[in-house]
Structure 1
Amino acid sequence: MTNNSNNPREYDAVLGNQQIPVYAAVLGGIEGVKHQLATDAIEHRIAALSKALKYGDKGLNLVIQALYDPEDQLKEEAYRLLKSREEVEIQNILHGFISQHYFIRFDGIYQERDPKGGFYYIKFYPDGTVITASSTSDNTQQVAKWFFKENHRSFISKGTYTVENENLQFPGTCNNGKVDYWGKILIHSNSLCLQWYSHINGRSGDSMYNFIQLDYF
């Protein structure tokens, strides 16, 4: 059988200008990274991005450029790689990125659908106030008629939220006690991935809240 030396095997390194599996080593330095970033496969592009910082300022610029890529997964990977950097210029770039992609929305409410039935709601205000409540209704326009901070009914919990980059935390306190929430704002700010702990009954869990815009906010 004739061996073709140009065909890499599973554990071989490959040339930077060839199509490669995501786990393969890449020859060609920064040009190899650029080639991977130009492919269509998102897993190849993410793998290349994690290697880019090995190549000094040229690699750093590739990671910064990825913050503006149309693919959300690449944006998030670039942000993950850059957020621990201390350079003022990079922190300024990330500040703009966070302001554009990770923020609390005030023009509606966040809703979680309980698979066992019922719905949970969160609403934030620009002054730092947050309110939470549960309901049997998924009609958010109807819920909004009673779900506001000036309503002092005992079933509406209130607290003050803090946001640091994409990280969010707040308590919800009502007559029955307190529930602590913490987690992340997901990219584009349309979802919250939260963990919670109830001081009322000792239960804990995690929840995904999706944003629903309300026309009159």
Structure 2
Amino acid sequence: MKIMARRGISSLYPENTMASFQAAADCGADGIHFDVHMTKDRQLVVIQDEHVNRTTDGAGLVADYTAAGIRQLHAGSSINSTFSGEKIPFLEEVLEWAKEERMSLSIELKNNMIGYTMMENTLLQALYRFGLEDRVILSSLNLKSMLKIRRLDPFIGTALLCTGRPSNAVQTMNKLKANEIHCETTFLFSSSGRQAADQHVPLAVTISNDTGNREILRNLGVDTIMTDCPHRWFALTL
């Protein structure tokens, strides 16, 4: 199974920052999962929430900031003062770094609450510039956005992002012409999860701090673990 660092090693480092991503690379993670939003001047930035309040010393919507304004925020103080100088990365910074580190990428477009104009086109063009289209899986809770991505690029890797235990996950994945399903652990034990495993649909499961049982997950058809603690998974004895 592949181990993807969810927002980097976000259990120890400020999430979605270069420090967190570098720590993931250093521990041997196969890749990183991160989220993107768009600034007022249409720059893609790497942050989870619509608001900057939780992870920075600022306040307000990402969409109300210019790129220059975003750059003034400190994104590391939520962990401790050691990381107080960390910034919200621009997408292109992360792509440049990932290309050098040979990391795979799982990128979630956070456009289900705010429909950022041209987000899909902007993201795809950035991936093409860095030659990373073969090393990425794109996902979003906005299914119209996922359909748009598939129209723009018939070959880019995409995933159905599902929460809970949706009964029609495989059917929805096929409708989106997606390549895999990104899910929570509970989905694996549902009838839809078993259907996906029986049809050999690639499954990536989000697990936070619990290392669980690797063999059970593998037997349930899991191909990729997305975790806040990739270093703990590498410490397990198979």
The reply to whether TM is greater than 0.5 is no
Length-normalised TM-score, structure 2: 0.25
Structure ID, larger Rg: 1
